[in-house]
Structure 1
Amino acid sequence: MNELQHETSPYLLQHANNPIHWKAWNDTSLKAAKNENKLIIVSIGYSACHWCHVMEHESFEDETVARVMNANFISIKVDREERPDVDAVYMKAVQLMTKQGGWPLNVVCLPDGRPVWGGTYFKKDNWMDILGQLQNLYTTEPERMMEYAEKLHQGIQILGIVEKNHSEAKSNPNNIKPLVEKWSKSFDWEFGGYARAPKFMMPNNYLFLQRYGYQTQSKDLLEFVDLTLTRMAYGGLFDTVDGGFSRYSVDMRWHVPHFEKMLYDNGQLISLYSEAYKRTQNPLYKNVIEKTLTFVERELYNSDNAFYSALDADSLNEVGVLEEGAFYVWKKEQLQQLLKEDFEMFAALFNVNDFGYWEHDNYVLIQSQSAETIASQFGLTENELLDKKKNWEQLLFNEREKRPKPRLDDKSLTSWNAIMLKGYVDAYTALGHEHYLTVAKKNAQFITDKQWSTDGFLWHSYKNGKSTITGFLEDYAFVIEAFIALYQATLEESYLHQAKQLIDYCLEHFYDEEKQFFTFTSRDGEQLIAPHFETEDNVIPASNSVMANNLYVLGILFHNGYYEKTALQMLHHMIPNMDYASAYSNWLNLWLNQSDDNKELAVCGKNALENIRKIQAEYLPNIILAGSTKASELPFLQSRFDEQNLLFYICQNKNCLLPNTSLETTVAALKIS
C-alpha cells in the first residue's frame, strides 16, 4: 500500500492499493519533490468520477506505468472535493494550455509546483509516452521547461482576476434585458435546458430566469423554465424509482445520465423545484421534492445529522464487474417478469421502446408524455395511472435494492451540507412539512458543533467524528446563506447573528481590499502558486457571488452600510464582464435586487411566525423578509413590535410605508401582476 492508506477521503483510499507510490497533497510531499529535484505529477479527481476510475484501471493499477512514475516523479493524488483550491489553480493551468478542462485532471509540475503540462483523461500508452518526453526534456533542457513554466504561471495569476470598473454610472437593472435575450438564443425549446450535449442542470440559472420571468411578466421565460423542470423530472436524469438527480445528461433529452448522484446538485434542485412549486402548485414538482428528500435521508444522511457527499456512477453488475449505471438500468425481460399484465402500460409511460433504449439491451426509464396523456390511451383517469405508477416504482425499488449499491463517498463537506440545509428550508417553506425544518435545524447544529472551531474558522470536511481541512470561502458563503434562510423560516435570530459573525470573519480573513473581492482561501491558510478569486457561477454558484448576495441581505437587516457598499461594489466590477449571462446568474440575481420591484417586509407581532409561513408559501422572490414575535434589537426590526397588534411593514430603499394589519392586503401589495 502507498501513503494514501492514511487518508480519510474515499477517493484517495480507492488509490491506496495502486502500485504507484502516491502521496497526499501536503508540505512533506511538496518538500520531497524539491529535495529530490523531481517533477511532480498532480492527479486530481473525485470518488464518483467515472473516467477517473477508467484511468485508474488502465494506468494507475498497471505495474509498467508504476515503474515509470515511481522512478522519475513525485506522484500526488488530490480529491478535488476536499481541496477545491488546488483543483482550481491547476484547472486554470490546463484551461490555458488546452482550452478545456475536466476530470480526471492530470498535471506535471516543476519541483516548486509550477505546472508545465496537463490534460484530462489519457490512455495508458499515451500517458507513458508523455511522461517519458517530459522527463527527458527536464533532464536535457530544464531551462526550456522553466521558461515555459514562468509564462504559464503569469497567466494563471492573471486568469480570473476581475478588472475594476471605474465608471461612476449606476448600473440600471433594465440592462439585464439584452443579456437575457442573448442568453435565450441557446435555449432548447423541445427538451428544455440548453441546446447542446452534455446537458448540465445549472439550478441557479433557472432560479434567476424564473425570477426574471416573473418580475418582467415574461410568459415565454416562465414556460421555458417549466419545460426544463418538467423534462428533467421525467427522467432518466431524475431517478423515478428512488428519487434524486444524477450529475448531468450525456444527451439532449435528459435521458442517459452520468449516473453519479451529488449532494450539491440535489440540494440546489430541491431549492429550485420548491420555488417553482410556490409559483405553479404543480404536483409534479411536489413529487420531485418529496422523492428526492426521501432518497437523501435514506442514502446520504448519517447519525451525526450530516450529509454524505455522493453516490458513485459505477456499481457491480450481474457478473461482479464495476459498470457505469448497472444499479439503475433495466432489461425488457426483467420488466416484463416484474410487471406482468401492467407491462404494456408501464412501457408506454416509461418508454421501454426505441426512445428509452440505451445500450447493451438496457433501458433507462424516461417519460416523454404526461401521465394524463398516457392514461387516456388506456382508458384510465390520470389519478388511476398515478396510483399505478406509484405501485410500479415501489415494486422496482424493492427489486433494485437486491442489487449491489453504488459506492458511497462518506465524507461530509461543510459547503455542500449548507446547500442541502437550504434545500430543506426551501422545501419546508414550499410544502409546510415540519420534518423538513427539523432536519434543517439538526444539520445546522452539526455545522455549529462540529465544523465551527472555537477559533472562529470553519472546517471544510468531516468524517468518522473528525473535522479536517480549514474552510474555503465556499464553506462560509453557503453556511451564511443557509443560516439567513433558516432565520427567515423560524425567526430565531441566533441564526442571523451567526451569519453576521461568519461574514465578519470573512471580511477580516478573505477579503482583498485592493482587488475588492474575496480570495478562495484565507490569507492565514496555505498559499498556493497563485491566488484564486472564484467569480463565475457554474454548476455551483461562485463563492464571491454568494457572498455578495449575503452581504446585501445582511446589510439591509443590520443597517450596515459597509456590507451593502461592498456587495454593490463587487457587482459593479462584475457587470462589464457579463458577456454570457449563464455564467453570472447569481450576480444577475443581486443586480435584479436593485429594481423597483424589490422590497423588504417586516412582520412583527405575537403571531408573526404563522403569518410569515403563509407569506413564504407564496412565490415572492423580490422580497427580503424579516420578522419577530417579541421586541427585537435587530436594526431592521427595532421599535416595530406591538404587543397588541400584528403589523406588516413594507419598505423600499430604506423608506417604509405605514404598517398595516392585513396579511391579504400585504401579499397583494407585494405580488407582481
Structure 2
Amino acid sequence: MAEGGLRDHVRGGFFRYAVDREWRVPHFEKMSYVNSGMLRNFVHAYAATGSIVYKEVVEEVLDYVNREASDGRLGGFYASQDADVGRGDDGDYYTWTPAEVDAVLTPIEAKVIKYYYGIESKGEMHHNPAKNVLRISAKPEDVARGLNMPVEEVLSIIDGGRKKLLESRNTPPTPFVDTNKYSAQNGMMISAYLEAYKFLVRDDIRDSALKALDILLASSYKKGEGVFHTYYEGEARIPGFLDDNVQMAMACLDAYEVSGHKLYLEAAEDIMKYCLDNFWDDERGGFFDTARTHGRFVRKPFEDVPTPAANAVAVIVLDRLYYITYEGRYRESSERTLKAYAGSAEESGHFASAYALALAYHINTPPHAVIVGKKDAPDTLRLLRAALGTYRPGKIVTLHDPGEETKLPYPASPDGRAVAYVCVPLGYCAPPTHEETQVEELLKTVGIE
C-alpha cells in the first residue's frame, strides 16, 4: 500500500479503495475514516519495525490531513474529499501524463520523477490512456543506477520534484471537501493522531487532536445525553448513533492517557453510561445502533462495513474503563457483548476483524503503567514519555498528580520524585521505579508468559 496507487504520492493520504485486483488504480475519493485507519496502521508498523518508509507515510498522511482535511482555526476533522473537480474529470486531478510532468519540472527532475513513479506514455486510465496513476516503481538506488546519478541527488530530486508537482496543482479548482465533522470519524482521527504523537513525539500532533476533541465535547456532547452525529456550520445535528458515541469515548480515553486530565476519563465514562442505559439490549446483550429514545431499534452493528464494528469498539472501551476503574459493570457488559456474537463471528470472516481484536483484548489483560507525580514536573514527563513511546499493543498508561487527586491508585514516592508502577490489572505489579529505561522494559515484558 505504501508503494502502490492507493497512496497519493503527491498530496499525501490514501484514496478510498482500488478498482483493480493489482491495487494500482484507485477510486480517488479520500475518506476521513480511511486515512485515520491507515494512519494508525502505519504508526504501528513504524513503532514495531523502526522503518523510515513507514514513518514517511505517517508524516505524509498527517501533512495531508492538516493541510486539506481539517479545521485548523476552530479544530476538528472533515469528512471527505471528492475524487474529482467536476463532470468529465475521471481522476485527472490526481493523475499525470509525461507532458504534464515535463511542464512542471526541469529535464533532469522529470527524468528522475518519471523513472521513480513509473510515468510512461501509456498509463492506466481508460478514458485517457496517457494518464498515469503514480506508484513507486523503482527504488532510489535503482533510479540512480539507471540514470548514472548519485543516490543522494536522486533522493533530493524526488523530494523537490514532489513538492513542485504538489504546488502546480494547488491552483483552484481543487476537489471539494465535505466539512461535516462527524463524531465517529473525528473520534477515529483523534485517536490516530494521539497514537502518532506517542511515537513521533510531535507536540503539534497532540495539540491538534486535543483541540479537535475539546471543540466537539463543547459543541456536540451533552452530559447524560451522549454525542450528536455531526457538527456542521456551527450547529450540532442529528442524535448520535452507537458508532459516534463509542468512537468519541475511545478518543476521550486516548486523550486521558496522553494528558492525565480526568475530565476526559469522566467524559468517556459518561458517554458509555449513556450507551449502556440507552443502546443496550437487555434480552440478548450487545448494543443497538440507535438509542431507545430515538425510536425503534433497527440493528446491532457487528461487522466491519467499512469501519470497525461499533459493538467491537464498545467492548474495547468498556474493558479499558474496567482496567482503569475496576468498575464491574464495564467488564460484565463487555463479556455479554462478546458472548452475544460468539456463535456467528466465524461466519463473518474478515468482517469480524474488530470483534477478534476485541476478544483478544478481553482475554489477554494488557499491562498498565501508572505514573504518580506532579503533572508538569520534568521527571514525571520523562516517565510518561517513556511509557507512551513503548510499543506494546493494548497497553494502558495513566498519570496521577498527588496534588490533584485525593485517592491515588498507588502511593506517591516519599521523596517527592515521580514514580512508575507497571502492573497487570487485578494481577501483580513490578517493583516501583524512577527510571525510564526500566519502564520501557517492564511494559515490553510484564504479563507475557
TM-score normalised to the size of structure 1? 0.61
Q: 1:377 and 1:603, CA in 2 relative to 1: closer, same or farther beyond 3 A?
A: farther
Determine the C-alpha separation between the residues in 2 that align with 1:290 and 1:271.
Answer: 12
The alpha-carbon distance between structure 1 residues 345 and 520, as it changes in their structure 2 partners (threshold 3 A), is: same
1:621 alignment counterpart: 393
Partner Cα distance (1:638, 1:653) in 2: 11
The answer to whether 1:532 aligns with 2:302 is no
1:589 counterpart (357, 368, 373): 357
Matched-pair contact (CA < 8 Å) for 2:382–2:436: no
- Choose 1 or 2 for highest CA Rg: 1
Do the aligned partners of 1:537 and 1:584 also contact (CA within 8 Å) in 2?
Answer: yes
Residue aligning to 1:518? 287
| Distance in 2 separating the partners of 1:482 and 1:456 | 17
Counterpart of 1:345 in structure 2: which amino acid? Answer: V
Q: Determine the structure 2 residue equivalent to 1:288.
A: 57
Q: CA deviation at 1:356?
A: 5.2
Pair 1:570-2:343 in alignment? no
1:260 — aligned with what?
29
8 A Cα contact 1:554 1:560, kept in partner: yes
| Alpha-carbon distance, 1:495 to partner | 0.7
Give the paired residue count.
Answer: 435
- 1:383 Cα deviation from its structure 2 partner: 4.1
Describe the SS at the equivalent of 1:395: helix
- How big is the shift at 1:400? 1.2
Amino acid across the alignment from 1:638: P
Select 2:139's aligned residue among 370, 375, 391: 370
Please report how far the alpha carbon of residue 310 of structure 1 lies from its aligned counterpart in structure 2 after TM superposition.
0.9
Assess, with a 3 A threshold, how the Cα gap between structure 1 residues 596 and 536 changes in structure 2: closer, same or farther.
Answer: closer
Q: 1:661 aligns with which of 413, 416, 434?
A: 434
- Tell me what 1:10 maps to: none
CA RMSD of aligned residues (A): 2.3
Q: Deviations over 1:457-507 (max 9, x none)?
A: 311122111111011111111001011111111111211111111111111
Is the CA contact (8 Å cut-off) linking 2:257 and 2:396 kept in structure 1?
A: no
> SS of the counterpart of 1:314?
coil
Q: Does 1:670 pair with 2:443?
A: yes
> How many angstroms apart in 2 are the aligned matches of 1:355 and 1:516?
56
Cα 1:355–1:522 change in 2 (3 A) is farther
Q: Normalising by structure 2, what TM-score?
A: 0.90
Residue 168 of structure 1 aligns with which residue?
none
Q: 1:381 to 1:574 in 2, by over 3 A?
A: farther
Question: Residue in 1 aligned with 2:321?
Answer: 554
Among candidates 360, 373, 379, match of residue 605 of structure 1: 373
Please give the secondary structure, in 2, of the residue aligned with 1:459. strand
Q: Distance in 2 between matches of 1:436 and 1:630?
A: 28
Contact 1:557 1:634 in 2 (8 A): no
The partner residue of 2:68 within 270, 290, 299 is: 299
Distance 1:671 1:354, change over 3 A: farther
* Aligned residue number for residue 338 of structure 1: 104
Q: Aligned AA for 1:623?
A: K
1:247 touches 1:258 (CA, 8 Å); kept in 2? Answer: yes
Q: Render the CA deviation track for 1:631-670: whole Å, top value 9, x for unaligned.
A: 56597x5243225233222222502223233322232233
**1:546-592 deviation per Cα after TM superposition (whole angstroms, max 9, x unaligned):** 01100000011111111012112222333332325422222222222
What's the CA shift string for 1:60-84, capped at 9, x where partnerless?
A: xxxxxxxxxxxxxxxxxxxxxxxxx
Q: Give the aligned partner of residue 33 of structure 1.
A: none
Q: Which moved more, 1:343-352 or 1:517-526?
A: 343-352
Aligned mate of 1:645, from 417, 423, 426: 417
User: Is the partner of 1:236 in helix, strand or coil?
Assistant: coil
CA offsets 1:233-258 (integer angstroms, 9 cap, x no match) = 22421111111111001123332110
Letter in 2 for 1:501: D
Q: Distance in 1 between matches of 2:75 and 2:364?
A: 41
Instruction: Determine if the alignment matches structure 1 residue 312 to structure 2 residue 82.
Output: yes
Q: Which residue of 2 aligns with 1:250?
A: 19
